[in-house]
């Protein structure tokens, strides 16, 4: 909440009341957290649902007699909990477009988790946002960038360890007994 007030005091934003500052602040927070958590922009309906979660706190917790600071914290906590308990956060949902093809954001997630075992970075999100990821040149550039990153080595190593279970292979030089010799 404080950075939003500081921005308003510095003239970066221009809201007349503390309530307007809070409303804008939480809206931006929901947009940013939603993008990261769902690995795509929130739909207007999803954003409205999380805003409703934020706005309902006053009436839901009225009996507790919380001050405005405590209500704000409770509201943010509820928004974060609802986002992090959503199936779109817990699972990588791929619905595709009307033709059954992955959307740019779904493709970005698939590539990122394939190479890095984590969510897309800002550059991959940008390629999804401008849909350059859906072009042959843009796709190839991102695949090369992701594969060349040191994070890819860890994910590829992990894949082969799990797939081939190399850690379970005994030492071939001692499996026939201590006196076996291999040339």
pLDDT (0 to 100) of residue 99: 92
**Selection from 87, 92, 96, 136 nearest residue 112 by Cα:** 92
pLDDT digits (tens, 9 = 90+) for 33-70: 999 999 999 999 999 999 999 999 888 877 787 787 78
Mean pLDDT of 15-35: 87
pLDDT digits (tens, 9 = 90+) for 92-147: 888 999 999 999 999 999 999 999 999 999 999 999 999 999 999 999 999 999 99
pLDDT (0 to 100) of residue 64: 80
Q: Look up the pTM and report it.
A: 0.76
**How far, in Å, are 24, 31, 79, 80, 105 from residue 34 at the CA level?**
15, 5, 10, 9, 13
């Amino acid at each position: 909440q404080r950075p939003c007030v500081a921005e308003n005091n510095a003239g970066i934003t221009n809201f007349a009341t503390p309530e307007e500052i809070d409303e804008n602040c939480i809206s931006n927070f929901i947009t940013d957290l939603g993008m990261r958590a769902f690995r795509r922009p929130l739909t207007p309906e999803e954003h409205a649902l999380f805003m409703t979660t934020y706005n309902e706190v006053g009436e839901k917790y009225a009996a507790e007699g919380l001050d405005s600071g405590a209500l704000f914290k409770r509201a943010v906590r509820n928004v974060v909990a609802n986002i992090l308990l959503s199936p779109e956060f817990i699972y990588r949902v791929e619905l595709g477009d009307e033709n059954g093809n992955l959307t740019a954001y779904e493709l970005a997630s698939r590539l990122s988790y394939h190479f890095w075992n984590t969510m897309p970075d800002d550059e991959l999100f940008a390629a999804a946002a401008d849909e350059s990821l859906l072009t042959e040149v843009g796709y190839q550039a991102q695949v090369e960038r992701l594969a060349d990153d040191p994070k890819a080595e860890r994910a590829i190593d992990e894949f082969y360890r799990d797939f081939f279970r190399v850690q379970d292979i005994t030492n071939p030089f001692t499996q026939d007994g201590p006196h076996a010799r291999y040339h």
